[in-house]
């Protein structure tokens, strides 16, 4: 990758580099969020790793002009961006930490260019959100269509209704408020497009193609990625480790950062 291309990637995805370790650890955020969602977790790894944070195109401080409906009509477009970022920062053998839909993005990126990855940490992952026979993704087709229609017609209303459901932790409304504010900072057209790309995707067939070790962090009472989904992924991903967290909801990086840090450090063999 040429210097100008590297600079374009860094600018496009608002890439931030911190830490002093030799090995790279890259954190990828979920739908409607930006790299700020890792602020309680990522600093805990800066003494051991070179920590890379970024925003998906369309989120946070990314270059909105780079958004392309065709490219980002599948998760593969976001996966190519992850690999672009890893090449731009000059690394191989990275540890990828992905939340929600970005967990699947990381899997696709690793399948495409495995040399760039050492292992993956998958937080609340799901390969498909739709129920299909014995597979319980959490939503039926009508649920998804109604949710997407609601998002298209009243994005602020959708944000206010969905944030508490996604976050869980009803006794801590400030967490849902932060997620709602994050949703509201996202361009509604881009958010709607990304929602369709996310909730209508089905990458179950890709799971056996992953050849790198992975950790699955499964929250309790997660309405977006239920227990059955995490256990399905564990069964499909070779060399995967499954951890049922005490954290509830879908965003342990915000609601339970200490537990999230502890489980990742244990998996990586780091001293507490």
* Per-residue model confidence as pLDDT tens digits over 12-57: 999 999 998 999 999 999 998 899 999 999 999 999 999 999 999 9
Give the model's pLDDT for residue 2: 58
Eight-state DSSP code of residue 73: G
Give the model's pLDDT for residue 181: 83
- Look at residue 169 and give its three-state secondary structure: coil
Positions marked active-site = 100, 222, 250
Contacts of 231 (CB under 8 A, 6+ apart): 218, 242
Give the start-to-end residue ranges of the domains of the chain.
Answer: 3-129+202-268
Whole-number Å distance between alpha carbons of 115 and 263: 25
pLDDT tens profile 110-141:
999 999 999 999 999 999 999 999 999 999 99
In which residue ranges of the chain is pLDDT below 70?
1-2, 184, 272
CATH architecture group of domain 3-129+202-268: 3-Layer(aba) Sandwich (3.40)
CB atoms within 10 A of CB 115: 9
Give the model's pLDDT for residue 110: 98
CA angle 191, 196, 202 (to 5 degrees): 135
- Look at residue 45 and give its three-state secondary structure: helix
In Å, how far are 41, 194, 223, 262 from 259, measured between CA atoms? 10, 29, 19, 5
Give the model's pLDDT for residue 180: 82
Give the model's pLDDT for residue 85: 98
């Amino acid at each position: 990758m040429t210097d100008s291309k590297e600079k374009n990637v860094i600018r496009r995805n608002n890439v931030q580099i911190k830490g002093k370790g030799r090995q790279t650890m890259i954190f990828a955020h979920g739908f409607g969020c930006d790299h700020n969602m890792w602020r309680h977790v990522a600093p805990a790894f800066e003494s051991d790793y070179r920590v890379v944070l970024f925003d998906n195109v369309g989120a946070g401080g990314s270059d909105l002009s780079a958004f392309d409906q065709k490219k980002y009509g599948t998760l593969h477009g976001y996966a190519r961006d992850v690999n672009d970022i890893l090449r731009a920062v000059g690394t191989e053998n990275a540890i990828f930490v992905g939340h929600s839909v970005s967990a699947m993005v990381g899997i696709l990126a690793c399948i495409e260019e495995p040399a760039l990855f050492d292992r993956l940490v998958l937080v609340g992952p799901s390969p498909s959100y739709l129920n299909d026979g014995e597979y319980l993704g959490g939503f039926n087709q009508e649920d998804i269509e109604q949710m997407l229609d609601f998002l298209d017609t009243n994005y602020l209303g959708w944000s206010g209704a969905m944030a508490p459901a996604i976050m869980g932790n009803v006794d801590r409304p400030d967490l849902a408020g932060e997620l709602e504010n994050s949703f509201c900072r996202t361009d509604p057209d881009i958010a709607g497009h990304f929602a369709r790309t996310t909730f209508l995707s089905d990458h179950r067939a890709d799971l056996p193609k992953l050849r790198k070790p992975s950790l699955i962090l499964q929250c309790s009472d997660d309405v977006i990625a239920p227990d059955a989904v995490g256990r399905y992924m564990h069964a499909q991903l070779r060399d995967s480790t499954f951890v049922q967290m005490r954290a509830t909801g879908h965003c342990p990086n915000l609601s339970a950062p200490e537990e999230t840090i502890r489980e990742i450090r244990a998996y990586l063999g780091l001293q507490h």
